[in-house]
Structure 1
């Protein structure tokens, strides 16, 4: 792909235009359909009117926030610049070009932040780009397989929009509404899954200890002089010691833990907890007694203080809340906040790796430090640790996989085996223990 100077830009219409050379002012929207405060996209000093029509007819009327309008305009601008750099007319861009755009940004760094683009960012941009493509299909502006079906349409001659006296009211060919809907279904399949990283990364013993060391001692053993956070320890433990997904951690209710009565003499005992997982399906999972004790210490300590700071009568059904030092103190911690917590913990614990990324807008190569692990990696770690502990406890190979499958909520043991079999060597030296806490040597 050839990288050149970006030819498109976004501006916000001032509500009027000055006509050279007379200096006469007239309403901005009389020529551009853009009202005051609406975003507009320019190319080489001229309005890209197709893009402006999309913004004015599809985005502004359905979204209330000017920030959202600007986000939509900037998203489309990245698509137009990507095509410009490859000498591709946006009218003739193909499904392969859209796939290339997605892959280029998923493997790139942002020139603003120096960090790699997240799947969420790329997905958000592509949602707007696909929306524009669907609008363009309805207007019969697109001449490629971005339309529904597998046929490639021959390029047509496009009348310059600034030479058409009826450009501002012309709808082109009859709207191909059904074709646009079919195109949307096909193109939406190209969107990256939000927040998902399918790479299986398992923390080694020393890495997991470093992560937990940053969070501090167990909540049930912590003193006022100790650093760290009870809540952070519990968030991590629900991943590596129970195998929950990050959204499942965010949704865990507090009430069941208030009713559990663990015996400190039997830390290897398990308590059943009903968890709501993918597809809103519930499944029972085993929570070790030692973790129940720590969770109850968190409930009576940090969690209670966060609720009290929020208000005397504040109540929340979720277990994990924002801390007393947060601007959203005492309110449920979100999935995004937990992912950010993991990134922060990896940085502080030295669990980073160097990634080489290419900026698709400039072609420049940058090496940036990124967290080695995500919250989902704790779930992977749980699976591998548990397998070895089950085998050391003389469970059969099939029974070990079956238990992990049920704990993780997979449809079949084969799914679990296929995911983790080649990663078992990470914890191959595990010793027999009553609980994963003992496996970890804590």
Structure 2
């Protein structure tokens, strides 16, 4: 099977010395750590895809995490190519035989069987299409090859201040749209979990997961931080955190560009951390378990709060693996909600809880402003989604209560009539 490896890329340049060519490190070109590279099962590199990864990684406008994510999708595509024994440049006249058409069908089948999330299906196909656009632009494949048919679609949307806008974009007939699911959803299409499920999960994780994963879940549930922010928290930031002058028992921890802690869209702000959680994080930072890992860590990793047992920075994929084990163990003991639980639901749970509290003590406009800054939303429309969801959920709970009372009353009436 094709493999995905991460290498340390150091650029070299030829240098002639004593009539011989030597390759020496090029100090002008930036070094790339953990550059993703795909290799076929025979050990040969997928040169075209790997060159694309290198160009993305060396582009300062593209984050390395983006290049890694795209190459993970291409790795899955390479595995499928080897399973089906088809060349990635196979574009015959017959449409159903074209490699992209066949792969699109395979992805849809996997999605419909429940093996792939709809969002993952869409992202995987989009990554493959992006690669083929790059390959055609570099003449790795013929530009005239019948890969797909482009078409322009117009999308209507509302900007942050409420004006309706339209934009045009190019799509293809092999793209896989990610249709919105029925019902209300929050960020990334996820739902919060109940307070009781949250407490059950944290209690179960405290004895059945690593100390690191348990703390990560607590940070997610009680600060709303994204996984990218949590994995880059640093002990130096904990030391520099300041008490919130307006909220007692709350700490403000600076995050964003310049702090060493990542945020989506590179937004600067202060992460609100409750006193009890701050105490737990600081105790962990000075624990023997953490300090042993710090001693064996390298360079900038030494200041990270969360280090793996290999004394390296946690990656999202490592957290995902631990979550798989936790979900399996939890379902065995009856925590059925864990079957579809995802880490990012910690953020949705926090946001719903926070907006509910805010609406109890302030006006809607003030609540939106407060929650927007607390959760580092780029647009108010994202925050407003939490208000709509919270209000809609409350209405559903009240409606359910009335329906239950009415049903029980009808049941009693039928019993009385039957007895008569």
Question: Cα–Cα, structure 1 residues 408 and 232, in superposed 2: closer, same or farther, change >3 Å?
Answer: same
Per-residue CA distance 1:80-123 (angstroms, 9 max, x = gap): 98x99xx84335977xx8766554433445xxxxx546966875
Q: Greater Rg, structure 1 or structure 2?
A: 1
Q: In 2, Cα distance between the equivalents of 1:345 and 1:275? A: 29
Q: In 1, Cα distance between the equivalents of 2:395 and 2:279? A: 29
Superposed displacement of residue 293, structure 1 = 0.4
Kept in 1: contact 2:187–2:348 (CA 8 A) = no
Unpaired segments of 5 or more residues in structure 2?
3-38, 55-71, 153-169, 179-185, 257-262, 397-420
Please, which of 175, 195, 206 is the counterpart of residue 205 of structure 1? 195
Q: In 1, Cα distance between the equivalents of 2:373 and 2:242? A: 24
Q: In 2, Cα distance between the equivalents of 1:284 and 1:398? A: 20
Q: In 2, Cα distance between the equivalents of 1:240 and 1:191? A: 33
Per-residue CA distance 1:113-158 (angstroms, 9 max, x = gap): xx546966875576456645754995256347x15567xxxxxxxx
Superposed displacement of residue 227, structure 1 = 6.8
SS state of the match for residue 375, structure 1?
A: coil
Q: In 2, Cα distance between the equivalents of 1:227 and 1:70? A: 32
Superposed displacement of residue 273, structure 1 = 1.3
Superposed displacement of residue 312, structure 1 = 11
Q: 2:234 maps to which residue?
A: 253
Please, which of 142, 145, 149 is the counterpart of residue 142 of structure 1? 145
Superposed displacement of residue 346, structure 1 = 2.8
Q: In 1, Cα distance between the equivalents of 2:392 and 2:76? A: 45
Q: In 2, Cα distance between the equivalents of 1:411 and 1:63? A: 28
Q: In 1, Cα distance between the equivalents of 2:128 and 2:339? A: 29
SS state of the match for residue 319, structure 1?
A: coil
Q: 1:373 maps to which residue?
A: 341
Question: Cα–Cα, structure 1 residues 402 and 140, in superposed 2: closer, same or farther, change >3 Å?
Answer: closer
2:384 aligned with 1:417? yes
Q: 1:75 maps to which residue?
A: 80
TM-score normalized by the length of structure 2: 0.56
Question: Cα–Cα, structure 1 residues 418 and 105, in superposed 2: closer, same or farther, change >3 Å?
Answer: same
Q: In 2, Cα distance between the equivalents of 1:103 and 1:335? A: 25
Superposed displacement of residue 267, structure 1 = 9.7
Unpaired segments of 5 or more residues in structure 1?
1-8, 11-36, 41-54, 110-114, 151-184, 217-225, 354-369, 430-442
Please, which of 401, 404, 419 is the counterpart of residue 368 of structure 2? 401
Q: In 2, Cα distance between the equivalents of 1:105 and 1:149? A: 26
Q: 2:65 maps to which residue?
A: none
* Larger RCO, structures 1/2 (Cα 8 Å, 6+ apart): 1
Q: 2:353 maps to which residue?
A: 385
Aligned length: 302
Question: Cα–Cα, structure 1 residues 61 and 120, in superposed 2: closer, same or farther, change >3 Å?
Answer: same
Q: 1:298 maps to which residue?
A: 284
Superposed displacement of residue 197, structure 1 = 8.2
Q: 1:269 maps to which residue?
A: 249
Q: In 2, Cα distance between the equivalents of 1:384 and 1:38? A: 46
Superposed displacement of residue 56, structure 1 = 8.0
| Aligned ranges 1:110-121 → 2 under 5 Å | 115-116=115-116
Please, which of 296, 311, 314 is the counterpart of residue 310 of structure 1? 296
Q: In 2, Cα distance between the equivalents of 1:253 and 1:375? A: 20
Question: Cα–Cα, structure 1 residues 289 and 62, in superposed 2: closer, same or farther, change >3 Å?
Answer: closer
Question: Cα–Cα, structure 1 residues 271 and 197, in superposed 2: closer, same or farther, change >3 Å?
Answer: closer
Kept in 1: contact 2:252–2:271 (CA 8 A) = yes
Per-residue CA distance 1:388-423 (angstroms, 9 max, x = gap): 22234x222332222111111113333212245224
Q: 2:111 maps to which residue?
A: 106
Q: 1:286 maps to which residue?
A: 272
Q: In 2, Cα distance between the equivalents of 1:417 and 1:405? A: 9
Kept in 1: contact 2:220–2:350 (CA 8 A) = yes
Question: Cα–Cα, structure 1 residues 312 and 338, in superposed 2: closer, same or farther, change >3 Å?
Answer: closer
Q: 2:319 maps to which residue?
A: 338
Superposed displacement of residue 377, structure 1 = 0.5
Q: In 2, Cα distance between the equivalents of 1:300 and 1:311? A: 15
Q: In 1, Cα distance between the equivalents of 2:379 and 2:198? A: 28
Superposed displacement of residue 344, structure 1 = 2.8
Q: 2:36 maps to which residue?
A: none
Superposed displacement of residue 230, structure 1 = 3.3
